């Protein structure tokens, strides 16, 4: 089977169930942005060291990536149709439990931090901003599952903590916002 189909050469693509839409349709923008976030999470995982804590974090991240893939599928499904896999409250609870677990060992924030630190921490910060964009786009999708919006919102919180957690575990300083005196 060839990877190219040429069916998108004129600016159209197919949603799940075959409906053809413009490639700049809000659904395509939303699920494409989820794919971007997923790819950036994958980059962050690939930059983790081969240590025990990182192997556990990789398992968590791959579970999150799998759910995010399914979130994209929900966004790629026309209003009134349903995919076989549906996002569940437990997917959101998993993010929350992981946030709480990873945040327990972190120093409390006393000032704003800047995105950065380790390469994996930086990638997770970037994934967080992409997840925020996906959330903003998903708000405009007609008939979107409300859990998709909740998941994307929580995902960005999760990725913020994941960046901090990776930096902390690798003992990499988090850059902080410096107030300029005028």
Other C-beta atoms lying within 10 Å of the C-beta of residue 78:
14
Q: What is the CATH number of the domain that holds 26?
A: 1.20.1200.10
**Nearest alpha-carbon partner for 143 in 12, 7, 15, 14:** 15
Angstrom CA distances, 162 to 13, 34, 137, 143, stand at: 34, 17, 23, 30
Note down pLDDT in tens along the chain; length 182 residues. Answer: 888 888 777 788 887 887 888 788 899 999 999 999 999 999 999 999 999 999 999 999 999 999 999 999 999 998 888 888 889 999 999 999 999 999 999 999 988 999 999 999 999 999 999 999 999 999 999 999 999 999 999 999 999 999 999 999 999 999 888 876 54
In a domain, 146, yes or no: yes
| Residue 177 resides in a domain | no
DSSP code of residue 113: B
* Half-sphere exposure in the Cβ direction for 88 (13 Å, CA): 5
Burial class (CB in 10 A: 0-12, 13-18, 19+), 140: exposed
Q: Domain residues for 158?
A: 22-103+116-169
Residue 110 lies in a domain: no
Domains in the chain: how many in total?
Answer: 1
The answer to whether residue 54 is domain-embedded is yes
Which H/E stretch holds residue 22?
strand 20-22
Residue 81: inside a domain: yes
Question: pTM to 2 decimals?
Answer: 0.92
Q: Is 98 helix (H, G, I), strand (E, B) or coil?
A: helix
In a domain, 11, yes or no: no
User: Phi, psi at residue 43, to the nearest 5°?
Assistant: -65, -45
With respect to residue 149, please indicate whether it lies within any of the assigned structural domains. Answer: yes
Q: Which structure tokens are listed for 171? A: 């003992």
Question: What SS3 state is found at 20?
Answer: strand
Q: Is residue 28 part of a domain?
A: yes
Nearest to 123 by CA among 167, 155, 154, 171: 167
SS3 48: coil
Half-sphere exposure of 84 (CA within 13 A, CB side): 0
Q: Residues 12-51, buried b or exposed e (16+ Cβ, 10 A)?
A: ebebbeeeebeeebbbbbbbbbbbbbbebbeebbebbeee
């Amino acid at each position: 089977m060839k990877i190219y189909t040429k069916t998108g050469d004129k600016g159209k693509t197919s949603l799940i169930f075959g409906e053809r839409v413009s490639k700049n349709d809000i659904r395509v923008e939303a699920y494409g942005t989820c794919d971007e976030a997923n790819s950036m999470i994958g980059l962050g995982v690939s930059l983790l060291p081969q240590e025990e804590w990182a192997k556990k974090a990789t398992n968590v991240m791959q579970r999150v990536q799998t759910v995010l893939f399914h979130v994209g599928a929900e966004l790629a499904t026309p209003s009134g149709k349903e995919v076989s896999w549906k996002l569940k409250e437990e997917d959101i609870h998993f993010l929350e439990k992981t946030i709480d677990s990873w945040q327990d060992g972190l120093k409390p924030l006393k000032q704003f931090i800047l995105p950065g630190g380790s390469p994996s921490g930086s990638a997770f910060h970037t994934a967080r901003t992409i997840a925020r964009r996906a959330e903003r786009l998903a708000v405009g999708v007609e008939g979107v599952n409300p859990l998709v919006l909740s998941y994307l919102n929580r995902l960005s919180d999760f990725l913020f903590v994941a960046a901090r957690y990776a930096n902390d575990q690798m003992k990499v300083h988090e850059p902080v916002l410096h107030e300029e005196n005028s």
